[in-house]
Structure 1
Amino acid sequence: MSSRRRLGLSVGVAGVLLFSGCATDPAPPTTAQLSKAPSVTFQQIGIDQVRAESAEVVTATRDLGVALAQAEPDTGGTNRVVSPWSAMTALGMVRAGADGTTADELDRALGPYRPKALAALLGQLDVIGGDPGTVDEDNPPTPPVYRQGTGAFVQKSSSLGRQYLTDLSSFFDTGVYPIDFRTPQAANAINEWIAVNTGGQITQAPVPPDPETVFSLLSTVYLGAAWDRPFTQTIDDGTFTTGPGRTVPTAMMSQTDDFRLARGAGWTALELPYGGGGLAMQVVLPDVGASVGSTLSGAVLGAVSDGLKRARPAEVSVTMPRWKIEQTVDLAPVLEGLGARRMFTSDADLSAIGEDVFVSGAAQSATITVGEKGTVAAAVTQVAMTTTGLPPEQPETFDADRPFVYQIVDTSTSLPLFLGVVANPTAN
């Protein structure tokens, strides 16, 4: 490690599927006050203005989500939940401060840096609104509550580049919270901010700050949403196949109604819309005998979204389990595997954020609860830095009684907010 004076930066992202907020902080922590670049406002950019660039970001976000979901080896029984969009937003804020080879590697790993497209996608979801603190997990709301918040916590004695502060305001709708990382109050301020922005679903930063930290970026995504058509029946004596010859007793939820259904090579997908807001869960069921890994790819999930957009609603009898999943992913090996290596070394160029800083660790924690009435989900990502057709006569059937992939998307752009695997719904 370099003998230069050590600095630290943590970048966090918290997400839950339920509330929309472009990236502003609904309730700043009482221990720190937000300061933005003077005379700089968030750029209100319509999706149609940056349609091609937004499509690039959506594809890159999906690919990043797949890489995160594949971070742990597939043992045939691993449940997964990640937030591609929260991770992309946080890493976008890192990219805003990168230069040279560090920026080039991030662009190769995450796709070209498109700040206006990031801002447009943030604004696209901002119209949903709501307060995560008002959501009852047992009775998710209609219309949905969705919110994404971003914030930068900075050591009081540190300076931040003027252009970087401008970019945070222009494209991520945030500024800085000056705090003293050398005191216990720093962790309290960050944890309080995360808890407020995720409705209490996430209460701890994945990488706690230490006295050497000088900067911490956070982006939260929160969703609480009721199904447009809740499940009306419960099958208490259902079963779920976790592997060849292996089944577990599982209570299943069931309903028959009009849904979009699409099929592709080796998979069948169903779209379950939430009540209002243009959000939906897409459940991707591999064909019998195929592994869940065969559908866990950016190409397949992109084809799923495209196929479901073209599909016409038809009567489908749906059976699927309830589930609750919590997961923590180490992002460092994922990003290094994608080619973003230099930012983890003393040769990193993140000078717009701070001199001689490099990423020393990165992690994401996420949680999702799915039941008869709807969905509540949250995620927090942190990057720590230091120096150096016709309707059928009979209903279609869709029995998700074996491992499957799911993603929660903004149906107008196909932007994946959450993505994961249900391998065993009885395991947490």
Structure 2
Amino acid sequence: MKSFTTLLFALLLIVLNSCNTIEDPVIPKTIKLDEKSAQLVEAGNEFGLDLFRRIYAGEMKYDNIMVSPLSVSVALAMTYNGANNETKTAMEQTLKVYGLTPDDINKSYSNLIAALQSLDPKVVLEIANAIFYREGFSVEKDFVTINQEYYDAKVEALDFSSANAVKTINNWVADKTHDKIDKIIDQISGDQVMFLLNAIYFNGIWQNEFDKNDTQDRAFHMENSSTLNVATMQKTDAVPYVANSLFSAVKLPYGAGNYNMYVFLPTEDKSVENIVDELDETTWTSWMESFTDTLNIDLKLPKLKYEYELKLNEVLSDMGMGIAFTGAADFTGINKGGNLKIDYVKHKTFIDVNEKGTEAAAVTVVAIELTSVMPSQNIQFDVNRPFFYAITEKDTGAILFMGTVKKPEYES
């Protein structure tokens, strides 16, 4: 009897220990933004959609494009703190921050950046900012203080004549993107006096992962009518789905569901270009609100891994801030002596979409230089042709990344 009691007690301990190893369900956190911060998110999305639409129009020769609206807008917002007069107005118009004061913009970005991070244990989102300036170059105290206080920016003077300066800046980029982007500048010219940088790193685990054993090479039909065999992930899942005359789309959650990837597949008689042409704040909001039905989907999605890099001078000039790149620029908020302009704005991105989840990174650098004066059966969603995608945060609606894929690539 004693041995039976001992055995029963041991079994009970095993059962209790087994119960303790079951993971508690992750409850998604919610973000409640104040009115000004919500207005900033809307402005950021409007800016990002306009930016992407213009980039796509000029970069259609490229198979795969990727942009982080958040990264570009944060880097420009830090730069905006040094702008005055017509240059300041032009940047406000380009960034779509109508009706927001500089203080509103800085506080709202501070609130947004803080809110977006640490939402989900299965999603890593890190946002970092930095300002590196030439040793001996005088920088206005208020400009430094504002960017440190609201953007938590690392501010450091460097000897720009030393090769170590380029290495220091690129090492910061590599560190903040977990080595997914290892370089953003190649050299420093004699006229360049400052680099303002934003880096974003995202690593999200699918809420329901793909089984690697189900990944197979499948045909992907490209726009030039050729066919490419690509590694394609497969699973059946209940996910939000929407279809209209332009596209069908699914919403794929990461972790607790705060962050999601949206995949937009053009209908047979449409193209990715037709989708991009429709991108504006009103249409985007309508699309986001249309994901009301959750249906069983037989999903096939190519694995992706690629980088993208672009200088944004031309597109930002077209959007209204051309003055910032000319000798007429007014950045006396950086240095009272003025004679400063933006040399270039460079944007670099990376994405890896695989069975486990998505890893993505983005870096934006603003270089400042001296001027010389629903069915019952499973729905088939086969991503076997060019498509558009976006990664957003649920509560704020903030667009972190967006891109198009015409030729899926994946390098192990």
TM-score class, shorter = 0.7 to 0.9
Contact 1:257 1:315 in 2 (8 A): yes
- Quick one: distance in 2 between partners of 1:332 and 1:109? 12
Is residue 106 of structure 1 aligned with residue 87 of structure 2? no
**Unmatched runs of 5 consecutive residues or more in structure 2:** 1-30
**2:227 counterpart letter in structure 1:** T
Q: Distance in 2 between matches of 1:349 and 1:186?
A: 26
1:127 equivalent in structure 2: 118
CA distances 1:142-185 after superposition (whole Å, capped 9, x unpaired): 61111000011122312221221222123212241122112122
Q: Work out the number of aligned pairs and report it.
A: 367
Q: Secondary structure at the match of 1:335?
A: helix
SS at match of 1:56: helix
1:339 aligns with 2:320: yes
For 1:417 and 1:183, locate their aligned partners in 2 and report how far apart those are by CA, in whole Å.
35
Q: With structure 2 as the length reference, what TM-score do the two structures score?
A: 0.83
- Please tell me whether residue 47 in structure 1 is matched to residue 33 in structure 2: yes
1:30-51 Cα distance to aligned partner (Å, 9 max, x none): xxxxxxxxxxxxxxx9613535
- Whether 2:349 is the aligned partner of 1:366: answer yes
Alpha-carbon distance, 1:398 to partner:
1.3
CA change 1:144–1:393 in 2 (3 A) is: same
| Residue in 2 that maps onto 1:23 | none
* Residue in 2 that maps onto 1:234: 214
* Pairing 1:18-167 to 2, within 5 Å after superposition: 47-67=33-53, 69-70=55-56, 72-75=58-61, 78-112=63-97, 114-128=105-119, 143-167=122-146
Q: Tell me, what secondary structure is at the counterpart of 1:123? A: helix
In 1: Cα distance, 2:117 partner to 2:86 partner: 33
CA distance in 2, matches of 1:277, 1:219: 25
- Amino acid in the other structure paired with 2:72: A
Provide, for residues 53-88 of structure 1, a one-character-per-residue CA deviation record: whole Å limited to 9, x for no partner.
Answer: 23433433432441464163324x621111111111
Q: Percent identity?
A: 28
CA distance in 2, matches of 1:313, 1:170: 43
| 2: CA distance, partners of 1:422 / 1:121 | 29
RCO greater where, 1 or 2, for CA within 8 Å and sep 6 or more? 1
Deviation at 1:122, TM superposition (A): 0.8
For residues 376-403 of structure 1, give each alpha carbon's deviation from its aligned partner in whole angstroms, at most 9, with x where no partner exists.
1112222222122xx7421122111111
Partner Cα separation in structure 2 for residue 126 and residue 349 of structure 1:
34
Tell me by how many angstroms 1:197 deviates.
0.5
AA in 2 matched with 1:123? A
Q: How does 1:185-224 map to 2 (within 5 A)?
A: 185-206=164-185, 208-224=187-203
CA RMSD of aligned residues (A): 2.2
Which residue is equivalent to 2:367? 384
Name the SS for the 1:238 alignment partner: strand
* Larger Cα-atom Rg: 2
CA contact (8 A) 1:323 1:370 kept: yes
Matches within 5 A, 1:170-185: 170-185=149-164
Unaligned runs of 5+ in 1: 1-44, 130-141
- Spell out, residue by residue over 1:186-213, the C-alpha distance to the aligned partner (whole angstroms, 9 max, x if none): 1121111111101011111245323433
Higher helix share: 2
Whole-Å Cα distance in 2 between the matches of residues 262 and 277 of structure 1?
18
8 Å contact kept, 1:269–1:304:
no
Secondary structure of 1:333's match?
helix
